[in-house]
Amino acid sequence: MTNLIGVYGVGGCGRGIMPLARVMPGAEGARFVFIDDSSPAQEVNGHAVITFDEFLADCARDKAAVLAIANGKVRAQLASNCEASDVKLMAVRASTVIEMDNVEIGEGSLVSPYVTFTSNIRVGRCFHANLYSCIEHDARIGDFVTFAPGVRCNGNVSIGDYVYVGSGALIRQGVTIGAGAVIGMGAVVTKDVEAGVTVVGNPARPLVKD
């Protein structure tokens, strides 16, 4: 049994994940804290807020971390820090998640209420799927990818590592999105997106900065 579970990040993501983490199988009897290296708060929603160094120094025999940070590259660094410190990553999954046939989801993923996975889907490490997102058949999703609430990902879509998909975005069937791309809120992605590019609008086009 895990004795101490730390939800990394006291922002909105962390506060939304904490109640789900508390009721995960195997979490019975564990102490829960928020881990945050920059927050001035000492307590949030009834849980102590401590730094990662304080988390490591705690006398608990068995520890796990939940990486509730929206930025995928930051999550990757935190995952590396946890691995180096022998802290296991804990996945969190709401009871209302729908998962059909032959779905594989990597370690440390956080799946919020009312998310749907259909069939024959592969998802990498530390995926975040926020409220009411949908991932259709034969999707391939990389590591440290984030779906904000209400994302609609159609079938046969390929998404690279570290991609962020904004709230309400719609991804057309068969599209490929390169690593590190950002899909803006409400964007309708009808064509492939190159790595590192930010796209917005309907249809989605590369963002042109003034």
pLDDT tens per residue, range 17-76: 999 999 998 888 899 999 999 999 999 999 999 999 999 999 988 999 999 999 999 999
39 with 12, same domain: the answer is: yes
112 with 179, same domain: the answer is: yes
- Asked if the model's pLDDT at residue 1 lies above 60, the reply is no
Q: Quick one: tokens of 38?
A: 């920059």
198 with 108, same domain: the answer is: yes
Average pLDDT over residues 67-96: 96
Chain centroid to CA 59? 28
Identified catalytic residue from 137, 170, 178, 199: 137
Is residue 74 assigned to a domain? yes
Which of 62, 90, 118 lies at the terminal end of a domain, its last residue? 90
Dihedral of alpha carbons 75, 80, 85, 86, sign:
positive
Which residue would you say has higher pLDDT here, 2 or 195?
Answer: 195
Q: Categorize the per-residue pLDDT at 210 as very low, low, confident or very high, splitting at 50, 70 and 90.
A: low
Q: What is the pLDDT of residue 21?
A: 97
Is residue 170 assigned to a domain? yes
Q: Categorize the per-residue pLDDT at 209 as very low, low, confident or very high, splitting at 50, 70 and 90.
A: confident
pLDDT single digits (tens) 131-184: 999 999 999 999 999 999 999 999 999 999 999 999 999 999 999 999 999 999
Contact between residue 110 and residue 127 where contact means Cβ atoms under 8 Å apart: yes
Per the structure, how many domains does the chain have? 2
Average pLDDT over residues 99-127: 98
Q: Which domain holds residue 32?
A: 4-90
Stretch (H or E) spanning 83: helix 72-84
78 with 115, same domain: the answer is: no
64 with 163, same domain: the answer is: no
Is residue 209 assigned to a domain? no
Residue 178 to residue 163: CA distance in whole angstroms: 8
Is residue 46 assigned to a domain? yes
Give the end-to-end CA distance of the chain in Å, rounded to a whole number. 54
Whichever domain contains 115, its CATH number is 2.160.10.10
187 with 117, same domain: the answer is: yes
Helix, strand, coil content of the chain in percent (nearest 5): 15, 30, 55
73 with 141, same domain: the answer is: no
76 with 110, same domain: the answer is: no
Dihedral of alpha carbons 33, 130, 168, 78, sign:
positive
Which of 36, 56, 90 lies at the terminal end of a domain, its last residue? 90
102 with 182, same domain: the answer is: yes
Q: Can 137 be counted among the known catalytic residues?
A: yes
Is residue 109 assigned to a domain? yes
Contact between residue 65 and residue 83 where contact means Cβ atoms under 8 Å apart: no
Is residue 150 assigned to a domain? yes
127 with 177, same domain: the answer is: yes
Q: Categorize the per-residue pLDDT at 88 as very low, low, confident or very high, splitting at 50, 70 and 90.
A: very high
198 with 120, same domain: the answer is: yes
Q: What is the pLDDT of residue 27?
A: 87
Is residue 210 assigned to a domain? no
Whichever domain contains 30, its CATH number is 3.40.50.20
37 with 99, same domain: the answer is: no
φ, ψ at 184 (rounded to 5°) = -70, 160
Q: pTM score > 0.85 for this model?
A: yes
- Tell me which residue of 152, 111, 114 sits closest to 132, measured CA to CA: 114
Residue 34 to residue 122: CA distance in whole angstroms: 30
